[in-house]
A and B are shown apart, each in its own frame.
Chain A
Amino acid sequence: MIKHLRSAADLDAATATLILDTAAEMAALSGREVKKLPALRGRTVVNLFYEDSTRTRISFEAAAKRLSADVINFSAKGSSVSKGESLKDTALTLQAMGADAVVIRHSASGAPHRLANWVDGSVVNAGDGTHEHPTQALLDAYTMRSRLGRLDGLKVAIVGDVLHSRVARSNVLLLTTLGADVTLVGPPTLIPLDVAAALSKSTKVSYDLDSVLPDSDVVMMLRVQTERMQDSYFPSAREYSRRYGLDMPRMRKLPEHAVVMHPGPMNRGMEIAPEVADSPRSTIVEQVANGVSVRMAVLYLLLGGK
């Protein structure tokens, strides 16, 4: 098993599939009387969050606790971090406390890679800057597989601000590893240069959402921050929404079986219409539930053995 999960590129197809299969077993737990397994008893998992993200933190926290690990939440606010303690010094503190795993969320791309140099335990990337968010990609893949029964050959459109999206990067890497065909859709200003060469040769790019939808099994809408307007990535929220937002007429262009995903938090009315977000095709609530199972699987596989 791998030691760290810093990038979706750390996962080959066999390991990724093992995580998804393990997550399926973990998912059964939520229907049980006792929602707890003893696998990580006595292990310490630190949630080191330099960015506010309550949903991701509680998802990791629930995952670790259901596996009986001791969880320490170390949030940047109100800690020594605000006094300017370096990541390295924080890492050495966590090391001294005997952290078996550190789940890190950080605004700087690559912070998990740096952290892994300074702690003996496993490092799990819970989102770093505009780089990656591998557990989000795993839960997305899990959700697709449970809705559509497979990943191999699945046509997935990822729509929106790919340039600044850690979710998109991890999804492209993981989904192509698992055999899906990914098309990135958005205005050219928000699709990074050389994206296919950078991530996966088979990745396609389109600037026209309408032409991509009829041939998609999954459409994943990315959050678009309105402040990108100020930086001339697109002229206005209205124009963005018209060209790249998923509304009801557009959703009807999808094949019957296709699903709509969003990593959250959503800008309703911007990249996704409220009726679409709440439609039966939307997996948005499932994604949250699946997040706990997938993170349990990751923590178990990283920490469960020798």
Chain B
Amino acid sequence: MAQPRADAPSKIILAGSDLHRVVDRIAHQILEKTSGATGTVLLGIPTRGVPLAHRLAARIHAFEGVDVPVGSLDITLYRDDLRLQATRALGRTELPAGGIDGLRVILVDDVLFSGRSVRAALDALKDLGRPSSVQLAVLVDRGHRQLPIRADYVGKNIPTALSESVKVALTEIDGADEVKLIGGLT
């Protein structure tokens, strides 16, 4: 997909405290929809899904005192576009000590777009164990799905054009919290 040029105009969609509020809301929704997040594991998809998963777990703990195990699930080797790009370095796959068998796994990612990453994550999950169910939490849903996939928890729906891109920045990785919409027709 064509990437916007570096000097393309950009617009901040979520900044600092907005982003925190969105994360809080997802945490609440998880608690609500899973009846208190018992039997639940959060698996972040590298890179930015991993700190998001940790934030969600921290907020869930803050709201209800529940400890939700957090892990990471690297999908690189399961991507369907592996051959289309130069070899990628692998991210970490780290399951919580209790594993995922028989548990509710909530996959956490920053942006839901074509749905291909989620499919890769589902494939990867299948090789790691057998969860009782799998859900998906994303910070941003920008539309343009290419697969029959939808998120269970969405922080913000951002209608976009294909020529635009959504950039999520997180303090843990990027030094600041914000979501930007870059490019497109002005």
Q: Which residue of A lies closest to B86 (CB)?
A: A305
Tell me the bound Cα distance from A305 to B90 in angstroms: 12
Contacting pair B77 A39 (CB below 8 A): yes
Structural contact, A306 and B84, CB atoms closer than 8 A: yes
B89 within 8 A of A: yes
Separation of A36 and B77 alpha carbons in the complex (Å) = 10
Contact of A33 with B129 at beta-carbon distance under 8 Å, contacts A38-B123, A300-B87 already known: yes
Most-contacted residue by chain A among B74, B82, B86 (CB, 10 A) = B82
Instruction: Say whether B93 faces chain A, with CB atoms less than 8 Å apart.
Output: yes
In the complex, which residue of chain B has the Cβ closest to the Cβ of A33? B129
A22 contacts B82, C-beta separation under 8 Å: no
In the complex, which of the residues A25, A38, A39, A300 contacts B92, with contact meaning CB atoms closer than 8 Å?
A25
Whether the Cβ atoms of A25 and B93 lie closer than 8 Å is yes
Q: Please report the total number of A residues contacting B with Cβ < 8 Å.
A: 20
Contact B87 A305 (CB under 8 A): yes
Contact residues in B for A28 (Cβ distance below 8 Å): 93
CB distance from A179 to the nearest CB of B (A): 20
B146 at the binding interface (Cβ < 8 Å): no
Residues of A within 8 A of B17 (CB): none
Q: What are the interface flags for A9-26 relative to B under an 8 Å C-beta threshold, 1 for contact and 0 otherwise?
A: 000000000100110010
Tell whether, in the assembled complex, residue A306 and residue B78 are in contact, meaning their CB atoms are under 8 Å apart. Answer: no
| Contact between B84 and A32, CB atoms less than 8 A apart | no
**Contact A300 B77, CB 8 Å, known A33-B128, A33-B129, A38-B123:** yes
Given known pairs A28-B93, A300-B77, A304-B82, the reply for A36 and B127 (CB within 8 Å) is yes
Q: Nearest chain A CB to B79's CB is how many angstroms away?
A: 9
Q: Which residues of B contact A21 (CB under 8 A)?
A: 89-90
Q: A37-B77, A305-B83, A306-B83 are in contact. Are A22 and B89 (CB under 8 A)?
A: yes
How many interface residues does B have (CB within 8 Å)? 20
Q: Are the CB atoms of A33 and B127 closer together than 8 Å?
A: yes
Give the docked Cα–Cα distance between A36 and B89 (Å): 18
How many angstroms between the C-alpha atoms of A21 and B127 in the bound complex?
A: 21
Q: Which residues of B contact A300 (CB under 8 A)?
A: 77, 87, 90
A33 neighbours in B (Cβ, 8 Å): 127-129
| A22 CA / B93 CA spacing, docked (Å) | 11
**Residues of B60-85 whose CB lies within 8 A of A:** 74, 76-78, 82-85
Instruction: Verify B127–A34 contact, CB threshold 8 A.
Output: yes
- Chain A, interface SS category: loop
List B contacts of A18 (CB < 8 A).
89
Given A32-B128, A33-B127, A306-B83, verify A38-B89 contact (CB < 8 Å): no
Please report the C-alpha to C-alpha distance between residue A261 and residue B123 in the assembled complex, in whole angstroms: 38
A1-B123 contact, Cβ under 8 Å, with A32-B128, A38-B78: no
- In angstroms, Cα B137 to Cα A80, docked, is 57
For the complex, is B88 an interface residue (Cβ under 8 Å from A)? yes
B74/A25 in contact, CB under 8 A: yes
User: CB distance B129 to A1 under 8 Å?
Assistant: no
Chain B residue contacts of A67, Cβ below 8 A:
77
Q: Is the CB of B83 within 8 A of A22?
A: no
CB neighbours of A306 from chain B (8 A): 83-87
Question: Quick check: B123 and A305 within 8 Å, CB to CB?
Answer: no
Interface centre among A39, A67, A301 (most CB of B within 10 A): A39
Question: Cα distance A18–B87 when bound, in Å?
Answer: 11
Q: Is the CB of B85 within 8 A of A305?
A: yes
Per a CB cutoff under 8 Å, which of A25, A37, A38, A304 touches B87? A304
B98 CB to nearest chain A CB (Å): 15
Complex Cα gap A1–B90 (Å): 14
Chain A contacts for B123, CB-based, 8 A:
38
Q: How far in angstroms is the closest Cβ of chain A from B48?
A: 19
* CA A39 to CA B90, docked complex, whole Å: 11
B161 to chain A, nearest CB (A): 27
Min distance, Cβ A184 to any Cβ of chain B, angstroms: 33
The 7 closest A-B pairs by CB, nearest first: A305-B87, A39-B77, A34-B127, A25-B90, A305-B86, A1-B87, A37-B77
Return 5 A-B CB contacts under 8 Å, by A number.
A25-B90, A32-B128, A34-B126, A37-B78, A304-B83
Which A residues contact B (CB, under 8 angstroms)? Answer: 1, 18, 21-22, 25, 28, 32-34, 36-39, 67, 300-302, 304-306
List residues of B whose CB falls within 8 A of some A CB.
Answer: 74, 76-78, 82-90, 92-93, 123, 126-129
* Extra pairs beyond A25-B74, A25-B90 (6, CB < 8 Å): A1-B87, A28-B93, A32-B128, A37-B77, A39-B76, A302-B87
